[in-house]
Structure 1
Amino acid sequence: MKKTLVSALTTALVVGAASTTFAAANPFSDVPADHWAYDAVSQLAADGVIEGYGDTTFRGNQNITRYEMAQMIAKAMAKSDVSAADKALIDKLAAEFSDELNNLGVRVSNLERNADMVKWNGQARYRYWSQRYENEKGSKDKKNKDQLTFRFEPTAEVNNHWSVKSRIDASTDPSEDGSADLSVKRVWAQGDYNNFQVKLGKLPLASTETAGMLFDDQFSGAQVTFGNKLKATVEAGRWDLKNSNAQSALNAAAKATDDTSNYQGIMLNGTAGKLYGGAAYRHFSSEAFKAINNSSSDKAKMWSVGAGYKFDRNWNLSGAYAKNTEADTDATAHNIQLNYKGAQKVNKGTWGAYAAYRYMGQNVAFAPLYELFLTDSGMNNVKGWEAGVEYTPFTNVMSSFKYFNGKKLDTDRDAEGLFGQVNFYF
């Protein structure tokens, strides 16, 4: 970096002295009065920010070292009458030259190295569902829905181990042309250590052992995960039952009785070469569960297992099974899926396809990840075949299309669904 550039930077950082006072007498023999930087150099020298060399020269066209730059920043940091904007710029430079400043004995640990401590990710997406259910007369009832969602996912670094994460959604129905419903879906503190992680707050409720067949939601509470290739997760808190599938008996019961449930769960997930898998046990208790249990039980006791095998870079086969031992009907769910390749949001032109068989009992698959079975508008209590494709037409733009054809579990009547989605990531 040239010293002339450094002078300009420092002039912008320090008090703005050159613009508020008359320039002092110039102490440098190689900066003539008609030089463009004369006023700034003179004032900065008077303020003690720059000193030049012992032979009365400034040497403005000569390269300087990082150590010399750090000396200037340290002197700028010592000034107290700086604006908020100048302070922010000083802090950014101090973060860049922190090692040199530390060698000078200048403390920078509390500076806005913090300027980059909050990272924002998000997406804007459009989704469309179309469902067909056979009625008693043999014809099909149609249900269509679309949705626009704007999502923020900020992460704020607290220190070397702890961070705060959140998910903020604003969703609206384009056909109604109304305002979006803005809500903080998740917010939690997360501590990451060697082979150990803890989360506290409103955090993800995810059935990772079944690849999302049972849950992709959130709960309020705590979670602890430890291990390396074999990870154990223990979590406990409360789950909002209104987030269960909108068409399920549990959702209706939650609105009529108790809308939250106490929850405890334990999961094991691990990998061994190309093989991966997991198992879990989850326990829920709420008055609402009496509506889906033919007994007087107010509980859901759910066992689940899942496994997969990666044949190579392109092919992956996975499956899962789950059962709610307290429910007498629609108490099991299972899935088998074959994936080929996969779209990657950062790689234009990538694509993927899959085929799957799903059996989605409503009293165990409460809030699944699968888009055709999403809680707010998805299909419920069905079995059948599903296929889908995904494609990245542009960098950070992904599209997908999915189709399901099967039967309702309670009536054995036809059920059919279509789903389309476009995501813009940022």
Structure 2
Amino acid sequence: MKKSIITAVTTAMVIGAASTTFAATNPFSDVPADHWAYDAVTQLAADGVIEGYGDNTFKGNRNITRYEMAQMVAKAMAKNTSGADKALVDKLAAEFAEELNTLGVRVSNLERNADKVKWNGEARYTYTSERHEGEKKSNDNDLLFRLEPTAEVNDHWHVKARLDASTNLATDSSDEDHNTNVSLKRIWAEGQYGNTNIKLGKLPMQLNSDLLFDDEISGAAITTGKDLKLTLQAGRWNLKDSANDAISKGAEAANDKTANMQSVGLQYDKNKLSLGAAYHNLNSDAFREVTKYRNGKTSDNAQIWAVNGSYQFDKNIGLGGTYAENAKADNEKKAGSVQLSYKGAQKENKGTWGMYTAYRYLGQNAALDPSYDGAMSGTKGWEVGTNYTLAKNTVATLKYFNGEEITGGKDAEKLFGRVEFFF
């Protein structure tokens, strides 16, 4: 913090505290009576908000540390403030929450009330190079800017959203009309009542997002429970932006770009163990275009059940797997993944890193919209990856997939690289 102690005491005066008179005696030899901050320094010293050094000096021109400022805020918090003074105390408490917690001062309620709207986001660059045997290699360079605001409604309800702006660097555009694509991806109201969570609006899918669905659904979801959680979700899923080309093309061909969707799932998480199961029922004419069904008949339904499990051996090593099957399909009806992970990059901590190796089998009629970044829907093979925190809130990721197409057996590979800046 590039601020002198003398300047900081003026802030302390505003948040502070306190008395209606400045009759205190000057305790500091280096703050003369004609100094512009004399009244503030002597009164705040008398109130116990600030302290000097053992040699009776204040050293007001020295740069103040965050920890020293937090001590001043903590002492101001202990006083009875109201109105504008209390609002400023709350904002300062939110800013110095980590240091105040170190001092043993609880500020969770202050953090919640200090600012009704909070913003998170990221800017990222992504490079992909994808090759399929007999086809021309496909390379992409993309930029994405994302904002994720959260607004407090009351003690139980918040409104959350995701706004994305993206562009393709190869064409300096993101669509056929050469316009940068700006879209409101998500917006939903979220309520928390004890162990029950309720979401309403255009919200992230709640079940098996990595293997099956990394997308949004327009509808509602409810999750209840502590260690064992029950989740119900229902709504409409937009198919045209699916990462599964067969699904998005089928939606175009059938002129039915959305699917009705209902899901139910159970998930158990405790200590090092996680186990879960889910069932999804989807209905759209698009499925007639992309699947061969039992007995040669066509159907507009997809009925997918899935199970998952993982175990964290210690703080560094974890093993996880998931499996899914579309009960309505005859071809490419199965999907699964097994992954061994070591550590992982933490965006807050420079120098942290992680790596993994995995085997993916992504039948396109089960893995309707997977998000592994390496393996693609309709392929099977090995994927390896690593990530590294280059600086605080700056993470680099590299992934490589090598395998083949499930139908036809043609070689397939993909290189994926990304740099993310979080704020």
Tell me the TM-score normalised to structure 1 length.
Answer: 0.74
Amino acid corresponding to residue 125 of structure 2 in structure 1: Y
Residue correspondence of structure 1 range 353-372 to structure 2 within 5 A? 353-372=355-374
Q: Distance in 2 between matches of 1:277 and 1:283?
A: 21
1:414 CA displacement: 0.7
Retained in 2: the 8 A contact 1:231–1:270?
yes
Aligned to 1:232: 230
Distance change >3 Å, CA 395–CA 325, structure 1 → 2: same
Asked if 1:203 corresponds to 2:186, the answer is no
Retained in 1: the 8 A contact 2:13–2:44?
no
- Structure 2: where are the runs of 5+ without partners? 16-20, 25-32, 49-74, 94-109, 174-178
Amino acid corresponding to residue 117 of structure 1 in structure 2: K
Aligned to 1:46: none
1:412 CA displacement: 0.6
Count of equivalent residues = 355
Aligned to 1:52: none
Aligned to 2:412: 415
1:271 CA displacement: 2.3
Identity value in percent: 45
Question: Tell me, what secondary structure is at the counterpart of 1:187?
Answer: strand
Q: Distance in 2 between matches of 1:115 and 1:349?
A: 32
Aligned to 1:296: 298
Question: Tell me, what secondary structure is at the counterpart of 1:366?
Answer: coil
Aligned to 2:72: none
Q: CA RMSD in A?
A: 3.5
Question: Tell me, what secondary structure is at the counterpart of 1:283?
Answer: strand
Question: Tell me, what secondary structure is at the counterpart of 1:289?
Answer: helix
Question: Tell me, what secondary structure is at the counterpart of 1:237?
Answer: strand
Amino acid corresponding to residue 151 of structure 1 in structure 2: R
Amino acid corresponding to residue 370 of structure 2 in structure 1: P
Retained in 2: the 8 A contact 1:241–1:251?
yes
Retained in 2: the 8 A contact 1:207–1:213?
no
Distance change >3 Å, CA 289–CA 317, structure 1 → 2: same
Note the alpha carbon deviations across 1:170-212, whole angstroms, 9 max, x for none.
110012224531111111111112111100000001434xx61
Q: Distance in 2 between matches of 1:228 and 1:422?
A: 35
Amino acid corresponding to residue 354 of structure 1 in structure 2: Y
Q: Distance in 1 between matches of 2:192 and 2:144?
A: 30
Retained in 2: the 8 A contact 1:216–1:369?
yes
Distance change >3 Å, CA 6–CA 122, structure 1 → 2: closer
Aligned to 1:310: 312
1:356 CA displacement: 0.8
Residue correspondence of structure 1 range 61-72 to structure 2 within 5 A? 63-64=46-47
Q: Distance in 2 between matches of 1:213 and 1:122?
A: 25
Question: Tell me, what secondary structure is at the counterpart of 2:46?
Answer: coil
Asked if 1:384 corresponds to 2:381, the answer is yes
Amino acid corresponding to residue 190 of structure 1 in structure 2: E
Structure 1 window deviating more from structure 2 (333-342 vs 238-247): it is 238-247
Q: Distance in 1 between matches of 2:261 and 2:132?
A: 33
Question: Tell me, what secondary structure is at the counterpart of 2:162?
Answer: strand
1:28 CA displacement: 9.5
Note the alpha carbon deviations across 1:217-270, whole angstroms, 9 max, x for none.
10000000001111110000100011222522x211211321011110011111
Retained in 2: the 8 A contact 1:168–1:184?
yes
1:160 CA displacement: 1.2
Asked if 1:157 corresponds to 2:156, the answer is no
Aligned to 1:177: 172
Amino acid corresponding to residue 170 of structure 1 in structure 2: A
Q: Distance in 1 between matches of 2:44 and 2:256?
A: 75
Residue correspondence of structure 1 range 1-400 to structure 2 within 5 A? 5=10, 9=14, 63-64=46-47, 91-92=87-88, 115-135=114-134, 140-178=135-173, 179-208=179-208, 212-248=210-246, 250-256=247-253, 257-294=255-292, 295-373=297-375, 379-400=376-397
Tell me the TM-score normalised to structure 2 length.
Answer: 0.75
Distance change >3 Å, CA 90–CA 307, structure 1 → 2: closer
1:95 CA displacement: 7.7
Amino acid corresponding to residue 260 of structure 2 in structure 1: N
Question: Tell me, what secondary structure is at the counterpart of 1:372?
Answer: coil
Q: Distance in 2 between matches of 1:196 and 1:365?
A: 29
Amino acid corresponding to residue 187 of structure 1 in structure 2: I
Retained in 2: the 8 A contact 1:168–1:183?
yes
Structure 1 window deviating more from structure 2 (181-190 vs 169-178): it is 169-178
Retained in 2: the 8 A contact 1:292–1:327?
no
Distance change >3 Å, CA 67–CA 253, structure 1 → 2: closer
Question: Tell me, what secondary structure is at the counterpart of 2:287?
Answer: helix
Q: Distance in 1 between matches of 2:34 and 2:130?
A: 75
Question: Tell me, what secondary structure is at the counterpart of 1:141?
Answer: coil
Q: Distance in 2 between matches of 1:403 and 1:193?
A: 42
Aligned to 1:22: none
Retained in 1: the 8 A contact 2:118–2:150?
yes
Q: Distance in 2 between matches of 1:340 and 1:68?
A: 43
Structure 1 window deviating more from structure 2 (330-339 vs 174-183): it is 174-183
1:293 CA displacement: 3.2
Q: Distance in 2 between matches of 1:309 and 1:246?
A: 29
Retained in 2: the 8 A contact 1:206–1:217?
no
